[in-house]
Structure 1
């Protein structure tokens, strides 16, 4: 007879060790640790990268004191037991100085994910990450969903989930609430989907 527990499948320290080894040994493979489970993040394609460059330019035009840090490892979930690599983390340019591979998320104003064309996108980007980012208290989660041609803005985290989710189709203006606080057009996103 086995006893079920709430213990994660792996401890955070074990994950960090495995992630370091994989990063050295396997080119292009990135690991994440969300909700006590090991996950693999797809390597971005060229259109994914183009979206991130485009969004970085928009962010710097509207919020020059902030920087869209790409692929920055941050501690997520309650008590910081999870580890994620958002496609982008909007934070002050010096927010992660002196920190290791997995940084404190406190200065992050917004995280960004751009969906990849893989089988885990639905579970990872639409379910697990919004919950983990809300638990962490990150004020805004921006999801650019290339599969559905939608942009979703999650805001007002309550420690378990985001209370507000606004979704617009590509082509409409996207309003980012405080503490980000600007609006941008999403029309160009139509060019970077398959």
Structure 2
């Protein structure tokens, strides 16, 4: 039987069913659907979680009306047919109340990714995720890049990419632009790299 070229390898609905089954049967397993491709999330080490906790405390201190939602599934890309799971999403504390596993990213002020120690970090965190989040209109993408010991702040999405990217080494303060409006003191991040 010939393969139909006009049909994607997997439909979004098929992905959602697979992702639901995987998350219920295999603890810690998270799947993503980016550019029509199935992706699995790398297992996180303890320092990875510590980075998210650190950032949560900073956000709570400076923006108590917001919450850093860990692992919230987002509908991304054109037509919202993609599915991504940022390490954390900054939004109002009640932004996802009543939602299922996947939410529109309209309420998200900032998507956060923390690099893991796997071979696809460059493709996933430095290439795909900035493009996917910019296409979805998320105002700020924060990449805590532990393998490079730097923080990259992407802002000013134009619907295809972020027009502004500011990269600073761990140890230097960096301002997260509006609508986030927080200054991150990145010195503690030096403790959570290999």
Instruction: Identify the TM-score tier after normalising by the shorter chain.
Output: over 0.9
Matched, 1:182 2:194: no
Query: 1:155 aligns to what?
Result: 155
Deviation at residue 23 of structure 1 after TM alignment: 1.3
Query: 1:172 aligns to what?
Result: 172
Alignment map for 1:33-182 (pairs within 5 Å): 33-182=33-182
Deviation at residue 3 of structure 1 after TM alignment: 8.2
| Count of aligned pairs | 193
Deviations 1:38-76 (A, max 9, x none): 001012110000010000000111111100000011111
The answer to whether the 8 A contact 1:69-1:91 is kept is yes
The runs of at least 4 aligned residues of structure 1 exceeding 6 Å deviation read none
| Higher deviation after alignment, 140-149 or 5-14 | 5-14
Deviations 1:114-152 (A, max 9, x none): 000011111111111111100000000000000000100
| Distance in 1, Cα, partners of 2:98 & 2:122 | 34
Deviation at residue 29 of structure 1 after TM alignment: 1.5
Q: Specify whether residues 18 and 175 from structure 1 end up closer, same or farther in structure 2 by C-alpha distance, changes over 3 A only.
A: same
| Higher deviation after alignment, 137-146 or 21-30 | 21-30
Deviation at residue 6 of structure 1 after TM alignment: 6.7
The answer to whether the 8 A contact 1:8-1:35 is kept is no
TM-score by length of structure 2 reads: 0.96
Q: Specify whether residues 61 and 6 from structure 1 end up closer, same or farther in structure 2 by C-alpha distance, changes over 3 A only.
A: farther
Q: Specify whether residues 73 and 173 from structure 1 end up closer, same or farther in structure 2 by C-alpha distance, changes over 3 A only.
A: same
5+ long unaligned stretches in structure 1: none
5+ long unaligned stretches in structure 2: none
| Distance in 1, Cα, partners of 2:121 & 2:184 | 24
TM-score by length of structure 1 reads: 0.96
The answer to whether the 8 A contact 1:8-1:37 is kept is no
Q: Secondary structure at the match of 1:15?
A: helix
| Distance in 1, Cα, partners of 2:13 & 2:150 | 36
Deviations 1:162-188 (A, max 9, x none): 000000000001110010012111000
Deviation at residue 78 of structure 1 after TM alignment: 1.5
Q: Secondary structure at the match of 1:28?
A: coil
Q: Specify whether residues 168 and 11 from structure 1 end up closer, same or farther in structure 2 by C-alpha distance, changes over 3 A only.
A: same
Alpha-carbon RMSD: 1.4
